[in-house]
């Protein structure tokens, strides 16, 4: 999202001043950092946990942890990257708690090689977003991304929705760059495949099957 | 180039992170392969749709409530922080 990237770039200089002040105990400075990133953290947490209550907890816990561990933050790296790493860890912990039947790992579900081969190859309607009302579209997008394994949707959200680089995403998730790239490709293709069911052109859609 | 070879490079192609030489090969493939062209365009659209339609916005009243809770916890943890 352009606004986030713009925000990240133009805010870099005064951001360090805020972090520095917050380290020195300036709560107002920390409050400004919260205002700057709470929406992003909430979004990331919602995408990973799929639970609004959990996402609210993650927002609170992540900022509190950041505040308590500010001393450990190296000022030569980006505060946002550091914060997101904390939030991703908190989100995964929430997810693990809810899914008691099995552990949640960013490495799961990576073996589905054939799942990436496109089956829906009909073109989409010229303006697929206009086929549905805003809330219906929102439901489709939610339902679709929720069907992805956690490791895939986390990478997709960080890279494509929040606009982080492959390297930042890899660092944040403790994955290698090739692993992030492979998950991103699968995530993009799987989302495309699922969205195609809603968005493919009604007139000639079935002809290409 | 086979469609599976094209697919492997799809992400880098979309992100504009491929060499000129490889891009020319991929464009050549796209020229005659309608299916890969559709996959490329609809994958691009998939990314744009998710980027342009934020599905989890933080409503203002909730935002204020969370902000207050965070700041209150930080204030209370100040002493604790010094002790650690």
pLDDT tens column, B17-52: 999 999 999 999 999 999 999 999 999 999 999 999
**A188 closest CB neighbour out of B41, B43, B71:** B43
Phi then psi dihedrals of residue A76, to 5 deg: -90, -5
Contact (Cβ atoms closer than 8 angstroms) between residue B49 and residue A134: no
% residues pLDDT > 70 (chain A): 82
pLDDT at B19: 94
**Residue A125 — pLDDT band, cuts 50, 70, 90?**
confident
pLDDT at B22: 95
**B55 closest CB neighbour out of A56, A142, A185:** A142
User: Do residue A199 and residue B45 have CB atoms under 8 angstroms apart?
Assistant: yes
Burial class (CB in 10 A: 0-12, 13-18, 19+), B64: exposed
User: Do residue A34 and residue B47 have CB atoms under 8 angstroms apart?
Assistant: no
Q: How many CB atoms lie within 10 A of CB A159?
A: 24
For residue B49, CA distances in Å to A54, A88, A142, A194 come to: 25, 23, 12, 13
pLDDT at A2: 47
What is this structure's pTM? 0.83
* A contacts of B71 (beta carbons < 8 Å): 27, 30-31, 34
**B63 closest CB neighbour out of A38, A63, A129:** A38
Q: Which tokens hold the place of A201?
A: 């052109």
Q: Is the CB of A68 inside 8 Å of chain B's CB atoms?
A: yes
pLDDT at A106: 59
Separation between Cα atoms, residue A138 and residue A116, nearest integer Å:
24
Please determine, for residue A208, whether its predicted confidence score (pLDDT) is greater than 50: no
Please determine, for residue A90, whether its predicted confidence score (pLDDT) is greater than 50: yes
Is the ipTM beyond the 0.95 threshold? no
CA-based radius of gyration for chain A: 19
Report the range of poorest mean pLDDT among A14-28, A47-61, A107-121: A107-121
Report the range of poorest mean pLDDT among A73-82, A136-145, A185-194: A73-82
Q: Give the length of chain A.
A: 209
User: Do residue A67 and residue B49 have CB atoms under 8 angstroms apart?
Assistant: no
């Amino acid at each position: 999202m352009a606004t986030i990237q713009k925000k990240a770039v133009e805010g870099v200089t005064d951001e360090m001043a805020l972090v520095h002040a917050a380290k020195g105990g300036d709560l107002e400075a920390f409050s400004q950092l919260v205002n700057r990133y709470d929406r992003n953290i909430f979004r990331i947490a919602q995408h990973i946990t799929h639970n609004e209550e959990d996402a609210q907890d993650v927002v609170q816990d992540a900022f509190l942890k950041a505040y308590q561990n500010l001393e450990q933050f190296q000022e030569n790296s980006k505060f946002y990257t550091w914060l997101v790493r904390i939030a991703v860890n908190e989100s995964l912990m929430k997810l693990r708690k809810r899914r008691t039947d099995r552990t949640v790992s960013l490495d799961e579900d990576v073996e589905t090689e054939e799942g990436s081969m496109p089956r829906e190859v009909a073109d989409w309607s010229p303006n697929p977003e206009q086929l549905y009302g805003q809330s219906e579209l929102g439901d489709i997008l939610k339902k679709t991304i929720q069907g992805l394994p956690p490791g895939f949707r986390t990478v997709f959200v960080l890279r494509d929705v929040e606009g982080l680089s492959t390297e930042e995403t890899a660092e944040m998730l403790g994955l290698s760059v090739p692993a992030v790239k492979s998950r991103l490709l699968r995530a993009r293709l799987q989302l495309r495949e699922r969205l195609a069911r809603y968005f493919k052109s009604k007139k000639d859609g079935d002809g290409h099957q | 180039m086979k469609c599976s070879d094209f697919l492997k490079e799809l992400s880098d192609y979309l992100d504009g992170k491929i060499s000129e030489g490889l891009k020319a090969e991929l464009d050549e493939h796209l020229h005659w392969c309608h299916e890969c062209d559709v996959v490329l365009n609809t994958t691009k659209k998939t990314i744009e749709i998710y980027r342009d339609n934020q599905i989890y916005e933080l409503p203002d009243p909730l935002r204020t409530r969370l902000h207050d809770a965070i700041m209150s916890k930080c204030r209370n943890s100040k002493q604790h922080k010094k002790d650690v």
